[in-house]
């Protein structure tokens, strides 16, 4: 009688955003064996989002089985306030849920153990392990896009604050500024988020632009209104980062998200303005993220492997590069 070979192990990981979900079947080096992109049906309500997450993870599990892989663990990284220890999605305004025991629900629905993570902290974890913060134990990962948040890593450990840490976008930079959706006024997100930058340009000119990228393009052409809006956003971001640098003394700030795609149009003035705001404080290096929109999914994969007691020996050049894609 011949013993059957034991299937090689893998994990399945899903990064849930307000617009899209990105998932993958990941081997022990974080190399994707299959990948998935699907829209997040947030306008259909919270139940529809949970159903879509369940279906996406189920599809990844089926793909893993078809590839002859045994799924060891699943993980989902979601936005909002997340209590990773309790597996609880505490609050997510964009997705409409509150105090949702998401890890338990997914575990029961899939018949697989599921660990829950926070999307930005998961992204910070992957930048730490295989991205722009390799070898740095004290840093910030700051994705700047529709919103602004931060993953704070101190002594190599993510700061969770019972799920509330990292809300950089709600640091007040102008007490007399615009009302924020959070109920405060003059929060960083009202000035420096991609949505705020585009809205400010449209308000001042009457010309609609396609997001912050449209403003950035006009900055390169020295459109005076675009230059002013962009500078205000960068100044506000530098002010918030100066506060965080004073309190936490990060060695590095890794800037990601859609706005970081502007490259040195963002990073060069940000470095200058941050430097001007610091005196005795440790001066962090400001660098672009390396993993792009793969960061959250890879971070979820790391959480899944850690849950089964394995630390992936990922190589930065390979991690997150797809070998096979799944249709929506």
Q: In whole angstroms, give the CA distance from residue 24 to residue 32.
A: 6
Q: Which has the closest alpha carbon to 312: 299, 295, 293, 325?
A: 299
Residue 313's CB is within 10 A of a number of other CB atoms, namely: 8
Q: Which has the closest alpha carbon to 31: 292, 294, 257, 309?
A: 294
* 272 & 301 share domain: no
* 281 & 142 share domain: yes
* 111 & 143 share domain: no
Q: How far is CA 30 from the centre of its chain?
A: 17
Averaged pLDDT for residues 118-122: 94
* Residue 126 within any structural domain of the chain: no
Averaged pLDDT for residues 143-162: 90
CATH (domain of 321): 3.30.420.40
* 145 & 266 share domain: yes
pLDDT in tens, 62-102: 999 999 999 999 999 998 899 999 999 998 877 888 899 99
* Residue 2 within any structural domain of the chain: no
Predicted confidence band of residue 6 (pLDDT cuts 50, 70, 90): low
- Look over the chain and give the mean of its residue pLDDT values, rounded to a whole number: 90
Q: How far is CA 86 from the centre of its chain?
A: 20
Range of the domain at 92: 8-119+292-326
* 24 & 162 share domain: no
CB 100 within 8 A of CB 87: no
* 151 & 246 share domain: yes
The secondary structure element, H or E, covering residue 57 is: helix 46-66
* 264 & 142 share domain: yes
Q: In whole angstroms, give the CA distance from residue 194 to residue 4.
A: 54
Domain count, the chain: 2
* 158 & 283 share domain: yes
What are the CA-CA distances from residue 222 to residues 216, 219, 229, 240, 263 (Å)? Answer: 10, 5, 12, 26, 17
Report field, pTM of the whole predicted structure over 0.85: yes
* 109 & 137 share domain: no
pLDDT at 302: 95
């Amino acid at each position: 009688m011949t013993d059957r070979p034991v299937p090689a192990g893998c994990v399945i990981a899903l990064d849930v955003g307000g617009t899209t979900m990105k998932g993958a079947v990941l081997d022990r080096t974080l190399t994707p064996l299959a990948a998935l992109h699907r829209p997040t049906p947030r306008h259909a309500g919270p139940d529809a989002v949970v159903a879509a997450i369940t279906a996406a993870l189920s599809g990844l599990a089926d793909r893993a089985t078809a590839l002859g892989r045994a799924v060891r663990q699943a993980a989902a990284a979601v936005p909002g306030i997340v209590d990773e220890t309790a597996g609880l999605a505490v609050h997510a305004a964009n997705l409409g849920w509150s105090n949702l025991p998401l890890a338990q629900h997914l575990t029961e629905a899939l018949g697989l153990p599921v660990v829950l993570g926070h999307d930005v902290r998961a992204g910070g974890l992957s930048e730490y392990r295989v991205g722009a913060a390799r070898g740095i134990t004290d840093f910030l990962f700051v994705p700047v896009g529709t919103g602004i948040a931060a993953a704070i890593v101190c002594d190599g450990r993510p700061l969770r604050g019972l799920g509330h840490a990292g809300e950089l976008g709600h640091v007040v930079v102008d007490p007399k500024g615009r009302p924020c959706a959070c109920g405060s006024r003059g929060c960083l997100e009202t000035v420096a988020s991609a949505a705020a930058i585009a809205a400010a340009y449209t308000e001042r000119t009457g010309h609609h632009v396609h997001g912050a990228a449209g403003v950035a393009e006009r900055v390169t052409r020295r459109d005076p209104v675009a230059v002013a809006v962009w500078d205000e956003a960068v100044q506000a971001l530098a002010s918030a980062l100066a506060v965080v640098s004073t309190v936490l003394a990060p060695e590095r700030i890794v800037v990601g998200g859609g706005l970081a795609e502007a490259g040195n149009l963002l990073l060069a003035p940000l470095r200058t303005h941050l430097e001007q705001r610091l005196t005795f404080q440790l001066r962090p290096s400001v660098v672009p993220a390396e993993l792009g929109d793969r960061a959250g999914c890879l971070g979820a994969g790391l959480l899944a492997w850690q849950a089964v007691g394995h630390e992936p020996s990922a190589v930065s050049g390979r991690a997150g590069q797809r070998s096979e894609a799944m249709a929506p």
